Chains A and B, each alone.
Chain A
Amino acid sequence: MMTTLKILNSRKSYGALEVVSDVSFEVAAGERVALLGHNGAGKTTLIRMILGLTPLTSGMIKVMDHAPGSRVARCSIGYLPESVAFQGALSGREQLRHFARLKSLPIQKADDLLERVGLAHAADRKIRTYSKGMRQRVGLAQAILGKPKLALLDEPTSGLDPISRHEFYDIVQELSDGGTAVLLSSHALTELASRTDRIAIMSKGKLVANADLTTLRRQAAMPINVRITTTSKESDRVAGEMGGTRKNGQVVELTCLQNEKMATLARLTALGSIISDVEISPPSLEELYRKISSSELEMK
């Protein structure tokens, strides 16, 4: 697979303050990577470094094998800023056509995209009359204009309602199916889990995690919750055998690590018909994120 974005030992410091320190990772074509981190963790600075807006203190970034800010790099990138703003006096259509011209694309592309993001009905209204969600859609439309090789989406779903968020991730899926590398930062953790291929977590300027969700779970060694429903009056026995705690007459809860999961399940199955149901809940991305970003676990 081709590497669209390469970041190697990149640093950015303002005087003594190191905003981004020694960050290295890659995003391949068609890959969707979520960039997580607290406010001020360095996500936006890193995105601005990729765009060439903020020069690196040291290290190297390559977009399609070209320096950030170079013509090739800029032609390959679609960017949605954190709080996107446009010329309020233009209509959605005029604004998108303007962006299409900047990218040397046929005007028709702009009109098609307005349709795709669901703004066709408001295309000829001034942007200043748009709601926050509609402006965000214009932002998304300009970011995916001309199918960029790399899409940098900074907080793309903020201000979108649940239905719009769903549509947004459908569009991201389409993009990555078409070979676009997608790097998106977000705070809405639950929706990222199922909609991205890899998760990178930044904390205080450092990259503290960079792996898919399953690997992260294993590395973080967070317990998996197993909730066993037994046939009545057997819960004490099951609790004793499995080493869990009895919650009520029928339910026993226990925890196990990722690498013990299959063994635990095998022991459960061996108990036979006294078990009527088993519910397994892995730690949510939110719990993982809290643990990783607070412990600053170094992972390679």
Chain B
Amino acid sequence: MGDDSGCTDEFVCSGFNACGGATAGNLGVDPLTVAATSITTLSVYLVPLIALLLSFDAIAGEIERGTLALNLAYPLSRAQILIGKFLAHFLVLAFAVAVGLMLSAALVIVQNGLVGLSFLPLVRLFFTSLALGATFLGIGYAVSASVRQPGVASGVVIIIWLVLVVLYDLSLLGVLVADDGGGFTTTFFPYFLVANPADAFRLLNMPDVAVDALTSGVNAASPVAGTWGLLVSLLGWPFFALLAAWLVFRKVEP
């Protein structure tokens, strides 16, 4: 499964990169930054999806096959099992994202040469992708442990993906329009935006121009929407999700 997801990731990333490169040539902006922006738009959907697809079977599948009972009969704690699974899946994800990004970088270098390239957006994209992926791995484990059946788990994670990555933004947008610059927009909206790791990921990887454009109408001065708020959200979520997964897994009778 990991390999398949990796291939998809690379393929799409390089495709977007080609477009990015073309646009960059016209606008005269650092082509890698443009590529990173394109990839960000895509990664915000794909990375959580890959992470959830990797993780939904982790505990439910072992319960169904009966291998969990045997593993737990060994001197092996549940936290150790969870950490082991997480490290393995995290490496798969890291490998897939790294290959995708390196292919993009290679294409940009071939098209534009090394002059004037800044690799910072790409490096930032890599590490924030991992944080985003780790969050959704944790969510996947929590679901996997609580529903016990792999089939149900796969359905639930797709719904969670849809809600957190697609519907969340749509509803925020809907409320913003309805609120028309009222109390919600200035007081609660930045918190809602930052609280969702997918949005935090997007905002962190958008070039400054785009962030300004997005937040100017909202509340540019709001401290939560700043880099630190976003970082806290993006880095806090993996721990929170894994902790939740462990708490659910602790109660599971295999």
B254 contacts A53, C-beta separation under 8 Å: yes
Residue among B67, B75, B76 having the largest count of chain A Cβ atoms under 10 Å: B75
Q: Are A74 and B73 in contact (CB under 8 A)?
A: yes
Q: Which residues of the other chain, A, contact B76 by a CB distance below 8 angstroms?
A: 74, 102
Whether B73 contacts A54 by the Cβ 8 Å rule is no
Give chain B nearest CB distance to A68 CB in angstroms: 10
By a CB distance below 8 angstroms, the chain A residues around B74 are: 74, 99, 102-103
Query: Interface-forming stretch among A79-87, A108-116, A252-260, A289-297?
Result: A79-87
Q: Which residues of B contact A53 (CB under 8 A)?
A: 69, 72-73, 253-254
> Is A84 a contact partner of B70 (Cβ separation < 8 A)?
yes
A79 near B75 with CB under 8 A, answer: no
- Enumerate chain B residues within 8 angstroms of A104, measured Cβ to Cβ: 75
Count residues of chain B with CB under 8 A from any CB of chain A: 12
Tell me, yes or no, whether A51 is within 8 Å of chain B by CB: yes
B67 neighbours in A (Cβ, 8 Å): 85-87
Residue A199 interfacial (CB < 8 Å): no
- Chain A residue contacts of B254, Cβ below 8 A: 53
Q: Is A117 an interface residue (CB 8 A)?
A: no
Question: Roughly how many angstroms separate A52 CA and B66 CA in the complex, as a whole number?
Answer: 15
- In the bound assembly, the distance between CA atoms of A70 and B12 in angstroms comes to 49
A55 vs B74: C-alpha distance in the bound complex, in angstroms? 17
In the complex, the answer to whether B69 meets A48 with C-beta atoms within 8 Å is yes
Query: A29 within 8 Å of B by Cβ?
Result: no
User: A23 an interface residue at 8 Å Cβ cutoff?
Assistant: no
A52 to B253, CA, bound (A): 9
Chain A nearest CB from B215 CB (Å) reads 49
A77 touches B73 (CB 8 A): yes
Fill in one digit per residue for A64-107: 1 if any B CB lies within 8 Å of its CB, else 0. Answer: 00000001001101010111111100000000000100111000
> CB-CB contacts of B226-254 with A at 8 A, as 1s and 0s?
00000000000000000000000000011
Contact B70 A74 (CB under 8 A): no
The distance in angstroms between the C-alpha atoms of A54 and B69, with both chains bound, is: 10
Q: Nearest chain A CB to B70's CB is how many angstroms away?
A: 6
Look across to chain B and name the residue whose beta carbon is closest to the beta carbon of A71.
Answer: B75
Measured in the bound complex, the distance between the Cα atoms of B70 and A99 in whole Å is 10
Residues B75 and A103 in contact, CB atoms below 8 Å apart: yes
CB distance from B181 to the nearest CB of A (A): 54
Inside 8 A of B253's CB, which chain A residues have their CB? Answer: 48, 53-55
Cα distance A236–B254 in the bound complex, in angstroms: 65
Within 8 A of B (CB), among A99-144: 99, 102-104, 142
Contact A85:B73 (CB < 8 A) given known A53-B253, A54-B253: no
**Interchain nearest-CB distance for A166 vs B (Å):** 25
Which residues of A lie under 8 Å from residue B65 when comparing CB positions? 85
The answer to whether A81 touches B72 (Cβ under 8 A) is no
Q: In the complex, are the beta carbons of A79 and B66 less than 8 A apart?
A: no
Rounded to whole angstroms, the CA-CA distance of A103 and B74 in the bound complex is 7
Please, how many angstroms separate the alpha-carbon atoms of A176 and B17 in the complex? 67
A90 to nearest B CB, angstroms? 11
Chain A residue with the shortest CB-CB distance to B65 = A85
Closest CB in chain B relative to A55 CB, distance in Å: 8
Q: Which A residues, 167 to 184, have Cβ-Cβ distances below 8 Å to chain B?
A: none
The 5 closest A-B pairs by CB, nearest first: A79-B73, A74-B75, A102-B74, A85-B65, A85-B66
6 contacts between A and B (CB under 8 A): A51-B69, A52-B72, A81-B66, A85-B66, A102-B75, A102-B76
Q: Give residues in B with beta carbon < 8 Å to A.
A: 65-67, 69-70, 72-76, 253-254
A positions within 8 Å CB-CB of B: 48, 51-55, 71, 74-75, 77, 79, 81-87, 99, 102-104, 142
